[in-house]
Amino acid sequence: MELLSSLLAITLSTIKDVIPIAVIIFGFQIFVIRRPIHNLRRVLTGFAYVIIGLALFLLGLEKALFPIGRLMAEQLTNPDFIREWSTGGPNDVLRWQDYYWVYIFAFAIGASTTIAEPSLIAVAIKANEVSGGTISVWGLRIAVALGVAVGISLGTWRIVTGYPIHWFIIAGYVVVVLQTIRAPKMIVPLAYDSGGVTTSTVTVPLVAALGLGLAETVPGRSALIDGFGLIAFASLFPMITVMGYAQLTGWLAGREKRKQQAEESLPQS
């Protein structure tokens, strides 16, 4: 019963989120384009499925994953827990190395939540369709997930060590710019997009809990200043890994081709 009432509440709030979008789309369709929507019934059914799907998805996350994920982030960042696994003595000051479970958790949770991110799935489906299958749905998703994982674990390391965030972001930008020059032209816009799509429904709540938990427990950090910024790491690194993925597959394909050419030219020589 309680589940049903929260499902209802979440469905209503999802509908509320969709209303401005629907008003804009149908308003422009009716008053500006002035043409009936092709397959109106099908489109409306699609919208209904999207709303039901998102509501169920959010309900499940609220009920099952977020509470345990938040609890975990709290427990993992608890100084007592970290001391238990640390190699130093009970009275030593914690070093950044002692937080290794936090980094591993950040990596794992970043990768796994990104795989389940609905907006990334949407972009991957579209990219696969547009590229005629050259970009595989799973290839893109795994490249992005790897980027988020590296980004978030680096972000937690930054919170522990207390280095200023803009050093990392600016260094990341420099890498992105250098890669842009070298990467296949086709991948660049998609790589830029993948930075923005990674962080939404699933990733943000869990990652924010981890960042705030860390910033509250590490001595000398302020939750307000250092707790933010993990999302920025999670949106920067996918650009690097997606371009890297394209560079790597391009390089491998090029090497394969050169090898074939070498083999073909062998008998004649």
Q: Applying CB under 8 A, which part among 91-99, 170-178, 249-257, 261-269 lies near other proteins? A: 170-178
Burial of 144 (0-12, 13-18, 19+ CB in 10 A): buried
Subset of 18-77 contacting other proteins (CB under 8 A): 18, 20-21, 23-25, 28-29, 32-33, 35, 37-39, 42-65, 67-69, 71-72, 75-76
Subset of 201-220 contacting other proteins (CB under 8 A): 201-202, 204
User: Are residues 247 and 185 in contact, defined by beta-carbon separation less than 8 angstroms?
Assistant: no
Closest approach of Cβ 269 to other proteins, in Å? 39
Residue whose CB is less far from other proteins, 11 or 96 = 11
Report CA-CA distances (Å) from 127 to 136, 258, 260: 8, 28, 29
CA distance 155 to 235: 11
User: Are residues 110 and 149 in contact, defined by beta-carbon separation less than 8 angstroms?
Assistant: yes
**Maximal C-alpha separation, the chain:** 80
CA distance 68 to 113: 14
User: Are residues 57 and 64 in contact, defined by beta-carbon separation less than 8 angstroms?
Assistant: no
Residue whose CB is less far from other proteins, 130 or 261 = 130
Closest approach of Cβ 139 to other proteins, in Å? 15
Query: Is residue 161 a contact residue for other proteins (CB under 8 A)?
Result: no
User: Are residues 113 and 119 in contact, defined by beta-carbon separation less than 8 angstroms?
Assistant: no
Residue whose CB is less far from other proteins, 32 or 266 = 32
Residue whose CB is less far from other proteins, 36 or 90 = 36
Where do we find the tokens 């209802």? 8
Q: Applying CB under 8 A, which part among 17-25, 88-96, 247-255, 256-264 lies near other proteins? A: 17-25
Report CA-CA distances (Å) from 5 to 2, 59, 66, 163: 5, 11, 19, 45
Subset of 240-269 contacting other proteins (CB under 8 A): none
DSSP 151: H
Closest approach of Cβ 219 to other proteins, in Å? 19
Subset of 178-197 contacting other proteins (CB under 8 A): 180, 185-186, 188-190, 192-193, 195-197
Per CB under 8 A, the list member of 70, 83, 86, 115 interacting with other proteins is 115
CA distance 265 to 39: 56
Closest approach of Cβ 264 to other proteins, in Å? 31
Closest approach of Cβ 254 to other proteins, in Å? 19
CA distance 130 to 123: 10
Closest approach of Cβ 117 to other proteins, in Å? 8
Subset of 76-105 contacting other proteins (CB under 8 A): 76, 81, 101, 105
